[in-house]
Structure 1
């Protein structure tokens, strides 16, 4: 597999993502549904944005690994949140997680009025290649 990052600018590097990611010769693609702060029984877990981001990332990592992929091969990471200010206040945990996996995927952040459960403040979906 050959992964090429396309960044015409440098400012996005501070946020841990790329403007575009090209993949050639991959052996598979995993499209992950949005992962949120849910427990193993499918119940939403409240808490502040930082806590929800942490659990959402743990859940995403579990799905990726269960499928036999690696978080370091995430090529797209989209975030849906009910509060962009709260999201950016906790964004350091995302940058740390991305750095720990040595990945800078393409990414989009969208503020929504609600997620599947009223307790949820963030949901993360990913595309991973092999």
Structure 2
């Protein structure tokens, strides 16, 4: 697989995403459903944004790993949240995770009026191999 990052500017670098990712010769593509802070028993977390973001990342990583893919090959990561202000106060968590795996992904950020039950953040990824 070949990945090419397209960044006509540099300002997005501090925001931990890229403008576009071209993928050639991929052996497979994994489309992940939005992962949120849903516990193993299926119950929705009632924790604060920071803890929900940590749980959502852990859930996303588990799905990717169990499918036989690697987080470093995430090419698209969409973020949905019920509060931009709360999310960005915990943005360092996501940035650390992205840096840890060397992820270079295109992203779109959405503030939505609600998510399922008590959820505050959801991560939707596309991964290639």
Match of 1:48 in 2: 48
Give TM-score scaled by structure 1 length.
0.98
What is the Cα deviation at residue 113 of structure 1?
0.4
Q: How many residues were matched structurally?
A: 129
1:129 to 2:123 alignment: no
Cα deviation code 1:19-48 (max 9, x no counterpart): 000000000000000000011111001111
Q: Deviations over 1:69-89 (max 9, x none)?
A: 000000000000000011111
* TM-score, reference length from structure 2: 0.98
Q: Take 1:125 and 1:46, find their aligned partners in 2: how far apart are those partners? A: 20
Uncovered stretches (5+) of structure 2, i.e. residues with no partner: none
- For 2:42 and 2:74, how far apart are their aligned partners in 1? 24
What CA RMSD, in Å, does the superposition of the two structures yield over aligned residues? Answer: 0.5
CA distance in 1, matches of 2:4, 2:50: 31
- Alignment map for 1:8-19 (pairs within 5 Å): 8-19=8-19
Return the alpha-carbon distance in structure 2 between the equivalents of residues 7 and 42 of structure 1: 39
Q: Which runs of 5+ in 1 are unaligned?
A: none
